[in-house]
Chain A
Amino acid sequence: MSEERIQSEKMEIFLKGLWKDNPVFVMLLGMCPVLAVTNSVINAVVMGVATLAVLTLSNLLISSLRKLIPGQVRIATYILIIATFVTVADYAIKAASLEVHKALGAFISLIVVNCIILGRAEAFASKNSIGKSVLDGLGMGLGFTLALLLLGSVREILGNGSFAGIDLFGPNFQPLTLMILPGGAFFVLGSYLLLFNWFKHRKEKEQRELEAVTFYTGEATR
C-alpha cells in the first residue's frame, strides 16, 4: 500500500512538469530561449534536450550537496554548478554538430540564466531527496522541450512549409514569413497562452455552474 503511494507520488512529481506546472505555458519561466530558438524544429529540440540535461544534472548535484551548502551563499553556489554543466553542454553540442551550434549561437551559454533551472534548484532540489530531484528535473525538462517543440512546429510549418527540414507542401506553398521573424514568436506564444487561458476559464465556469446548481437544488429541498 505505502509502496504504491510512493510510486504514485513519484509519478506525480514527474508528470506535473509536463502539464499542470508546465514551465513555459503555466509558470511563464525561461521565455527568452523559447522565443529565440524556435524558428525551426531541430533548433527547438536541441535546445530543449540541452536544457533537460543541464536541469537534471544540476538538480542531481545540488540535491546531493544540499546539506553541505551554507544558506547565505547558496544562490552563488547553484549558479556556479549550473554554469559548469552549461559549459559541458556547450562543448558537447559544438563537438556533435557545428552547424546547430552556430544556429543556436549564444543561446546555449544563456541556459545559465534560464530561470527554470535556478528556480527548480531553489524551490525543489534544495529541499528534496536525490531521486525526487532527478525526477523533477526530467519532468520539467521534458515539459520545456514539449513547449519548444509545439512552438517550433507551428513556426516552421507556417513560416517555411517544412517540418524538421522535410518539405511538406511542395514548391507552390506561399510561406508566412512573419512566423520565422521575431514578431511571429511573440504571436505564436501569445496564442498558445490564450488557448491555455481559455481552457482554464471554461473549466472554472463549469465548476461555478455546478456549484450554483447544487446550491439551488439544496435550497429547493429545504
Chain B
Amino acid sequence: MVTEQYWFIFLNATLINNFVLSSFLGICPFLGVSGKISTASRMGAAVAFVMLISSVSAYAIHQALVAVEAEYLQLISYIVVIASAVQLVEMVIKKFSPALFRALGIFLPLITTNCAILGLALFQTNRHYDFFQSLSFALGAGAGFTIALVIMAGIREELQLSSIPDVVKGAALTLMVAGILSMAFMGFAGLGGN
C-alpha cells in the first residue's frame, strides 16, 4: 500500500502531470537546450540531480522554519539553497567533463532560475509531503523533465532535415510541437488508477 503510494507520486510527476508539458515549469531550458538529443539528455540529468539535492534540502529547511515560526523566510532560503546546489553541480561537471560544461554553456548557471526546481520545492511544501514522498516526487519530476526534453530534441533533430517555410522556423514551431506533445501527454490522465 505504502510503496504503491510512492509509485503513484512518481508516475504522476513523470507522466500525468509532466512538469514541462502540463505544469509549464522549466520552459526556458525546454525551448533553449532541446536542439540535440545528446545535450538535452545531459541537461536533463543535471537538472534531475539538482532537483534531488534541493528537494532534500527544502524538506529540511521547511522543518527548521516551522520550528522557529519564520515561514515568511521560505522563499529566500529555498532560492539560496538552490543557487548553492547549482554552483556545486557546475564545479563537479567542470572538473569531470569540460566538454559537457562547454556544451551546456549559459544554461548551466541558469538552472538556478529554472522554475522547475523552485516549483518542485514549493509544491512539495504546499502538498505536505513527508520525506520519502518528497524524494519520489523529486525523482519523478526529474525523470519527467528529462523525458520531455529528449522527446522534443528528437523531434527537432528530425525537423532540421525537412523543409519548412521561413516564417515558421524557430520558437513558433517549437511551441506548436510542444502543444501537440502536451495533448499526447493528456492521454496519460487516469493512469495509476487513483
**What is A's interface to B at a CB cutoff of 8 Å?**
28-29, 31-33, 35-36, 76, 79-80, 83-84, 86-87, 90-91, 105-106, 109-110, 112-115, 118, 178, 181-187, 189-191, 193-194, 197-198, 201
Contact = CB atoms under 8 A, between A and B. Distances in A.
Contacts of A189: 175
A154 to B, nearest CB: 14
A28 B172 contact: no
22 contacts: A29-B28, A31-B27, A32-B24, A32-B115, A79-B112, A106-B122, A110-B115, A113-B79, A113-B118, A115-B110, A115-B113, A118-B113, A181-B182, A182-B24, A183-B180, A183-B183, A185-B179, A186-B176, A187-B175, A190-B173, A193-B170, A197-B170
A34 to B, nearest CB: 8
Interface string B43-54: 000000000000
B118 A186 contact: no
Interface of B: 21-28, 31, 72, 75-76, 79-80, 83, 110, 112-115, 118-119, 122-123, 126, 166-168, 170-173, 175-176, 178-180, 182-183, 186
Contacts of B166: 201
Nearest to A194: B172
A15 B118 CA distance: 32
* Main DSSP-derived SS at the B contact region: helix
B167 A198 contact: yes
Contacts of B110: 115
* Main DSSP-derived SS at the A contact region: helix
B167 A190 contact: no
B123 to A, nearest CB: 6
A29 B32 CA distance: 11
Given A113-B115, A193-B170, A198-B167, 13 more contacts: A32-B25, A79-B79, A80-B76, A87-B72, A87-B76, A90-B75, A110-B118, A114-B113, A115-B110, A181-B186, A182-B23, A183-B180, A187-B179
